[in-house]
Amino acid sequence: MYSVVLELRSIFITDGASQNIDLSFDFSDTEVSGYYPLSSSVKFVGGVYNRAGAVSFEGTASYDYDAPCDRCGTDCIKQNKVEMCYTLVTSMSNEERDDYIVVDNFVLDVESLVRTDVLLSLPTKHLCKPDCKGLCSNCGANLNKAQCNCSGGDDNPFAAALSKFL
Ligand SMILES: [Zn+2]
Ligand SMILES: [Zn+2]
C-alpha cells in the first residue's frame, strides 16, 4: 500500500536544517473495533528539525472522529488532537526508548507514525453531549428526544403485569 514518507538525508547531515510538514491523511479505511472513526481527513502540522546534530520530529495531528454515544447510541462527531514529539535516529543503541524512532536509509514513514499515534489517542469514552440522558432501560426511547411514558413504579407496564401474579 502506498504510504507517505519523508526523505531526510539532507536534514540529518546538516546542522540547523529543518523541514516544515503540513500534510493531510486519509485514514477512513482504518477499522477500530467494528467501526471506522476517521471518516474525514487527519491533518498533521509540524516539522523535522536538526538541532546540533539531534534530529526530532515534532507536531500536532488534529482530526474529527465518529463514534456512537456510549449512552444513547447516536453517532456523534468530535474533534481531537495529539501532540507528537520523537527523536529520529539512524540506528538504535542498546537501550530501547519509546520516543526514539529508527529511520532506515533516512526515510521516515510519516503516514504510519501519524496513524499509530492518532489511533492510540482516540478517546475510549464517547458521549454525544456531557449530559446525555441515554435510553430508557424499559422501552428504549431516546430520552434526549422525548420523554417516554414509563416513569417507573406503577406506570411501568411490566411491573404492573408482574404485580398481578404476586
Ligand atoms: Zn448520547
Ligand atoms: Zn420508557
State residue 154's pLDDT score: 46
How confident is the model at residue 56, as a pLDDT? 97
Flag whether pLDDT at 4 surpasses 60: yes
pLDDT confidence of residue 98? 80
Nearest ligand to the CA of 78 is 1
Cα 136 to averaged position of ligand 1 atoms, centre (Å): 12
Measured in Å, residue 139 CA sits from the centre of ligand 2 at 4
Residue 128 has a pLDDT of 92
CA of 156 relative to ligand 2 center, distance in Å: 8
- At residue 166, the pLDDT reads 54
Question: How close is the Cα of 69 to the center of ligand 1, in Å?
Answer: 5
Dihedral-angle region of residue 53 (phi above 0 means left; psi in -120 to 50 means alpha; beta otherwise): left
What tens digit of pLDDT does each residue of 9-48 get? 999 999 999 999 999 999 999 998 888 999 999 999 999 9
Confirm if 64 and 77 have CB atoms less than 8 A apart. Answer: yes
- Report which residue type is found at 20: N
What is the tens place of the pLDDT at every residue in 94-137? 677 788 999 999 999 999 999 999 999 999 899 999 999 999 99
Ligand 1 centre and the CA of 133: distance in Å? 7
Give the Å distance between the CA of 161 and the centre of ligand 2.
16
Q: How confident is the model at residue 92 (pLDDT cuts 50, 70, 90)?
A: confident
- Tell me if 25 sits within 8 A of 44, measured CB to CB: yes
Average pLDDT for residues 71-80, to the nearest whole number? 93
Model pTM above 0.95? no
C-alpha–C-alpha distance, residues 162 and 91, integer Å: 71
Q: Choose between 71 and 94: higher pLDDT.
A: 71
* Strand boundaries in the chain, DSSP class E: 6-7, 18-25, 42-51, 54-68, 75-89, 100-102, 107-108
> Which has the closest alpha carbon to 54: 99, 94, 23, 96?
99
Q: What is the mean pLDDT of residues 49-61?
A: 96
Res 158 pLDDT > 80:
no
